[in-house]
Amino acid sequence: MKKELSTGFNTRQYMNSGEFEVFFYNDIDLDHVVDHTHPYYEIYFFLNGDVTYEVDGNRYKLQYGDYLMIPPETRHHPIFHSTGQDYRRFVLWISRPYYEALVARSEDFAYSFRQVEKKKQYHFRTDFIIFQDLQGRLLDMIEEMRGNKPFRETSAHLMVCSFLLHLNRITYDSLHQVPAVYENVLYLNVCDYINNHLDEDLSLDHLASFFYASKYHISHVFKDNMGISLHQYILKKRLQASKNGILSGIPFGELYHQYGFSDYTSFYRAFKKEFGLSPKEFREQKSLPEGY
């Protein structure tokens, strides 16, 4: 988590901007917050702490991956069961006029809060993969809002709109009892992780630990989506990347280690089996003058 984006708890219960605000709070030994209401919409994302949250008289024992949808003028507050551990959460505030303007453009923006107001269900639970994605989007929003890049306001507006629609899909799936683990999301996240960590440990044990999923589930999801085993995919990606390394002039003695092979012999054999040429033959072939 990006520590520089976090703040201690602000007791302010009014908005400084006229549209939306987002916070990443990280507190230690916060033991009391008064029951309160406010005139704007709040979406609360729980990361860590020993907390039960009360909304409109309903109490929810929170765990990592939970979020709360709190409409305007709805009483709510956290109940702390212990201190001495970090209390971390994201909070997104959306003003009523801004929300109503979005809904006037498209009813799609209203889905989650209308379901909340209809069913009086304020609490939703996600899995690790989905919540990691939500965290990334929230951090991107905070960075954009606090930065000074050109077109910042328009960019932040588009990010908030996209985030609300994305969250509405998650809420819809939750209410319609879609399985919590979205296999396609897991597959795409594993692929992205592999592509960015080719020189690191990509064992099934490591991936299972990183993604909080079973080794069997990752293997099954990957084979169903890709048609080859996870091991085969990683090998092919490393070999393909090593071709670019060869063309860029990286010495063979460094190349195998840079692309995740334990020794040059195993790299040599895998490369020749995949491409029909040894690494040296490939370099020499690509170095031939045009028209040779």
The answer to whether 242 and 253 have CB atoms below 8 angstroms apart is: no
For residue range 34-51, list pLDDT tens digits in order. Answer: 899 999 999 999 999 999
For residue range 117-132, list pLDDT tens digits in order: 999 999 999 887 788 8
| 69 closest CA partner among 44, 88, 34 | 44
pTM of the model: 0.60
Position 132 scores a pLDDT of 85
Across 43-47, 199-203, 272-276, 286-290, which has the greatest mean pLDDT?
43-47
pLDDT in tens, 9-43: 565 555 566 799 999 998 877 778 889 999 999 99
Q: Is the pLDDT assigned to residue 183 strictly greater than 80? A: no
Specify whether the CB–CB gap between 30 and 9 falls below 8 A: yes
Whether the per-residue pLDDT at 135 is higher than 80: the answer is yes
Distance CA 145, CA 160 (A): 11
Position 187 pLDDT exceeds 80: yes
d(C-alpha 267, C-alpha 164), whole Å: 47
DSSP letters for 85-123: SEEEEEEEEE-HHHHHHHHHH-GGGGHHHHHHHHH---E
Q: How confident is the model at residue 54 (pLDDT cuts 50, 70, 90)?
A: very high
Q: Is 175 helix (H, G, I), strand (E, B) or coil?
A: helix
The DSSP secondary structure of 202-243, one letter per residue, reads --HHHHHHHHT--HHHHHHHHHHHHSS-HHHHHHHHHHHHHH
| 191 three-class SS | helix
Instruction: Please give the distance of CA 31 from its chain centroid, rounded to a whole number.
Output: 29
Q: Provide the pLDDT for residue 292.
A: 33
